[in-house]
């Protein structure tokens, strides 16, 4: 069964049950505290700040878009880009594209206009559906797009150079187009996070999407009465494919347009959410708010919340130990994955393995894993090497990039670029990104290990360790330290004293007090930090000399 069939089945089995809820928690006077860099969707007096749709409406809206696209000649082989913030329209649009046989291309809403143009052209997208927040960026590149591309505007007051999705969708047939689809047909193109230049276009087929849905349901025992709280952006494979567990059994999901601890807990309480996927910075914020007394657990209805899981980046052991002290009844899981492996879960800890917190876990449902050296030979147990994975959720290729595909997919195995080791119980421990390893005086340092240790310091809110150039040692380890607000008087000597428990060669040689930048998926933007502090470090060394 492919995922459009799962939607059809839910619409037939649970037609009047709620499939999706969209929550906009910010009142107009609170707009300045909404999620980072965007305002939230428009609302009406009848339904202020909350919208919902049933499974039958979800399916009907996907049919209407599919028929609209088909009427314009869109079908197998075509690409349709989605440029929207999380909203109630997002997933029906995605499934409408799939029902035509075309390939869905979700775009990162943080892209600037040049990146948007690059991704539209790189993916050969024939159609772009975009929201009101992107009028300016789209208008600046319209004249650069090839003629014949269709632009559909999802909102009110459609610009003259686009067509109104809402008006045309309302006029389209709600009947299912029933285009035959197969597991090997192209389904979606996702873009890598792009922290080191323009992102790669990652092509997946329908088998990958089905694998992601089934795997999430198996890993986290998703049942029909579950309610998944989705906070990260839907263009990201983590958010999308965690949600797809709901698709397998007709479970409800809530799209929350805000990430403050209060918004999260208010939504979990009011909507009775049972499963929540968080990123490391949000876990940090929640625990800090509880410790300060800003968030009082007795103010919320939380008994139904059964599972908290974290992914998209290395997770400090100390952070989860703190979480389990506050929420001892919660199941916990860590999910490892890449967009190339249909997002999270090709390796996962498993809720039954909390005694192994810190490991990324074991191969996930229907996945295999191995750790290899530079010559692609398996390393001995306990040795560090590159993690490789293989399974039915593997990407088809990097679209229009055979060279990158050839160096990443080798004999059916995805070379992840992550350094890892396997312990004597078979659990895999992430050591670091291959490109982030610091070589100082001939010794290999793995920043993730140092970050994990330093995150246990009571004064530290967030920390990133990078290599900075050094004339004598080649590189030195530098720690960018973001302090908790109530520990602002912490000094460099205080941090160095905490690090005395580390072996001498692992201790950071430079402490920089600054905010730790993270991208939309919560990953530390280390290329940005190396660029920001690398040149300055050389100047400092020259001045000292």
Domains of the chain, earliest start first: 3-258 (3.40.50.12780), 306-433 (2.30.38.10), 439-544 (3.30.300.30)
Residue 504's Cβ-count burial label (10 Å; 0-12, 13-18, 19+) is exposed
Tokens of 72: 């314009």
pLDDT string in tens for the chain (545-residue length): 899 999 999 999 999 999 999 998 764 444 333 333 223 333 334 433 889 999 999 999 999 999 999 999 999 999 999 999 999 999 999 999 999 999 999 998 878 888 899 999 999 999 999 999 999 999 999 988 887 789 999 988 999 999 999 999 999 999 999 999 999 999 999 998 644 457 889 999 999 999 999 999 999 999 999 999 999 889 988 888 999 999 999 999 999 987 889 999 999 999 999 999 988 778 888 998 999 899 999 999 999 999 998 876 667 778 888 899 999 999 999 888 888 998 788 999 998 998 888 888 999 999 999 999 989 999 999 998 999 999 999 999 999 999 999 999 999 999 998 889 999 999 999 876 667 778 775 567 778 788 888 988 999 989 999 888 876 666 788 999 999 988 999 999 999 999 988 877 788 999 999 998 886 666 788 878 888 887 555 445 444 44
- The pLDDT value recorded for residue 181 is 96
pLDDT of residue 312: 61
Model pTM score? 0.81
E runs forming strands in 217-257: 227-230, 252-256
CA distances from 406 to 338, 413, 530 (A): 17, 11, 28
Place of tokens 């007394």: 293
Q: Are 522 and 281 in contact (CB under 8 A)?
A: yes
Helix (H) / strand (E) element for 162: namely none
Tokens of 30: 């609170």
Phi-psi region of 272 (alpha: psi -120 to 50; beta: other; left: phi over 0): left
Distance CA 251, CA 256 (A): 16
Asked whether the beta carbons of 202 and 398 are under 8 A apart, the reply is yes
pLDDT at 26: 61
Nearest to 251 by CA among 444, 18, 411: 18
Tokens 């003259």 belong to 160
DSSP conformation class of 313 = S
Query: CA–CA separation, 23 vs 41, rounded Å?
Result: 10
Q: What is the pLDDT of residue 270?
A: 94
How far is the CA of 314 from the CAs of 40, 58, 319, 340, 502, in angstroms? 30, 35, 11, 18, 19
């Amino acid at each position: 069964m492919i995922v459009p069939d799962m939607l059809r089945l839910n619409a037939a089995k649970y037609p009047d049950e709620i499939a999706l809820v969209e929550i906009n928690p910010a009142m107009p006077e609170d707009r300045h505290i909404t999620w980072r860099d965007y305002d939230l969707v428009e609302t009406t007096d009848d339904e202020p700040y909350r919208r919902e749709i049933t499974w039958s409406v979800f399916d009907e809206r996907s049919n209407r878009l599919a028929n609209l696209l088909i009427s314009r000649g869109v079908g197998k082989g075509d690409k349709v880009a989605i440029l929207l913030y999380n909203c109630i329209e997002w997933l029906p649009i995605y499934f409408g594209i799939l029902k035509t046989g075309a390939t869905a291309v979700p775009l990162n809403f943080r892209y600037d206009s040049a990146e948007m143009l690059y991704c539209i052209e790189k993916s050969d997208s024939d159609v772009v559906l975009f929201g009101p927040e992107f009028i300016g960026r789209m208008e600046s590149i319209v004249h650069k797009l090839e003629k014949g591309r269709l632009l559909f505007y999802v909102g009110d007051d459609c610009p003259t150079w686009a067509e109104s999705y809402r008006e045309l969708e309302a006029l389209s047939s709600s009947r299912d187009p029933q285009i035959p689809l197969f597991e090997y047909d192209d389904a979606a193109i996702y873009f890598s996070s792009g922290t080191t230049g323009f992102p790669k276009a990652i092509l997946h087929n329908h088998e990958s999407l089905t694998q992601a849905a089934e795997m999430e349901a198996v890993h986290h025992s998703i049942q029909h009465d579950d309610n998944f709280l989705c906070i990260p952006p839907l263009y990201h494979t983590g958010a999308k494919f965690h949600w797809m567990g709901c698709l397998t059994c007709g479970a409800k999901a809530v799209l929350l347009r805000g990430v403050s601890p209060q918004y999260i807990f208010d939504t979990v309480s009011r909507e009775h959410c049972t499963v929540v996927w968080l990123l490391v910075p949000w876990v940090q914020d929640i625990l800090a708010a509880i410790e300060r007394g800003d968030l009082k657990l007795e103010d919320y209805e939380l008994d139904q919340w059964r599972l908290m899981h974290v992914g998209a980046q290395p997770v400090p052991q100390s952070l989860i130990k703190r979480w389990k002290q506050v929420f001892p009844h919660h199941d916990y899981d860590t999910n490892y994955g890449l967009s190339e492996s249909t997002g999270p879960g090709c390796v996962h800890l498993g809720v039954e393995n909390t005694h192994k917190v810190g490991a990324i876990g074991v191969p996930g449902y229907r996945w295999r894993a191995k750790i290899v050296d530079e010559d692609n030979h398996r390393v001995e147990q306990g040795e560090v090497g590159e993690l490789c994975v293989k399974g039915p959720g593997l990407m088809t290729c990097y679209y229009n990039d055979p060279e990158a595909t050839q160096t990443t997919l080798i004999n059916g195995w995805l070379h992840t670029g992550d350094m890892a080791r396997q312990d004597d119980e078979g659990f895999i421990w992430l050591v670091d990104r291959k490109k982030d390893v610091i070589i100082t005086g001939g010794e290999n340092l793995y920043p993730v290990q140092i970050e994990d240790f330093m995150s246990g310091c009571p004064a530290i809110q967030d920390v990133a360790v990078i290599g900075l150039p050094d004339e004598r040692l080649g590189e030195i380890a530098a720690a960018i330290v973001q302090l908790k607000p109530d520990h602002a008087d912490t000094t460099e000597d205080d941090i160095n004293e905490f690090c005395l428990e580390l072996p001498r060669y692992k201790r950071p040689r430079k402490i920089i007090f600054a905010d730790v930048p993270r991208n939309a998926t919560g990953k530390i933007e280390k290329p940005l930090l190396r660029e920001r502090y690398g040149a300055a470090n050389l100047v400092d060394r020259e001045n000292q000399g």
